Copies of this chain bind each other. A is one copy, B any other.
Amino acid sequence: MEDCFGGLEAGGTKFVCAVGTGPSDLRERTEFPTTSPGETIRSAVAFFNACSSHAKLKAIGIGSFGPIDLHPDSPTFGCITSTPKQGWRNFDIVGAIRSGAGVSRVAFDTDVNAAALGEARWGAALDLDTFVYLTIGTGIGGGAMVNGRLLHGLLHPEMGHMRVPHDRRADPFAGCCPWHGDCLEGLASGEAMRRRWGMPGHLIPPGHAAWSLEVNYLASALVNLICSMSPQRLILGGGVMQGLDLPALHDAVRELLNGYLQAAPILDHISEYIVRPRLGANAGVLGAIALAQSAANP
């Protein structure tokens, strides 16, 4: 039996599990909706246990929705913390997977940091040491690599909760974040689109006013990330991005920056500066496999 690695993208909407060693060697993969912790973890554990019967798992990586506790010396390390998501608050996801799958080495990070790591190893950030991965789906989250290492700091980034300009005459929607109202996630997530327009983003046709509003909010957010972190690239994934006109977002970011940052990637090559993930829908789970590999071979 050859060693391989398990990856778990634990999203707020669905879980994706896989085993393998990379994009060209993804041996098994499954996904299922995120329901109660008990039921969801049972499905994940069953998948890893079935895989273990024909390939020993050297480590499992978990990229999880958050906020999560990443401090190895904290009593709540491995837990999901202040999520509003029913049943998951203070749930020890690392402990549950470790004991259920019988794999002692479990690496843990945010879903978006995992996706960033996947894109750095195999995707749209191969040659970069400082970049941002943002997902705009049901919620909005961001991960980052800085100087070649994933960004954690005090906790981990929570980019969806930044504040952006909100012109209430143009957009009277108050925002739907249960914590902050009209933060970025409250204004520009898939959930915000659904509540504001009465239909989910993927049913909103091109040219609808929803999309120009969406472009404006995301452009402010990207400008804030560019001004704060000076990334070499921004990678934008998530369901909402599938319907969004990326060139319109490029134009809006350039217009807001107004030539202030004299950098060719922004001024001349913005379509290579703000991009979609190259690993597509597998960015998260491949990133989780990359986390597992880093934990096994630090």
Which residues of A line the B interface, CB within 8 A?
A: 67, 69, 81-82, 130-131, 142, 144, 146-147, 149, 151-166, 179-180, 220, 223-232, 256-263, 265-266
Contacts and interface: CB of A to CB of B under 8 A. Distances in A.
A158 B229 contact: no
B263 A155 contact: yes
- This chain: how many copies in the complex? 2
A146 B131 CA distance: 13
Contacts of A224: 162-163, 224, 228
Contact of A146 (B147, B259, B265): B147
**4 shortest interchain CB distances as A-B pairs:** A153-B230, A130-B153, A146-B146, A162-B224
A227 B157 contact: yes
Contacts of A258: 179-180
A149 B147 contact: yes
A125 to B, nearest CB: 12
Nearest to A232: B154
A167 B165 CA distance: 9
B162 A165 contact: no
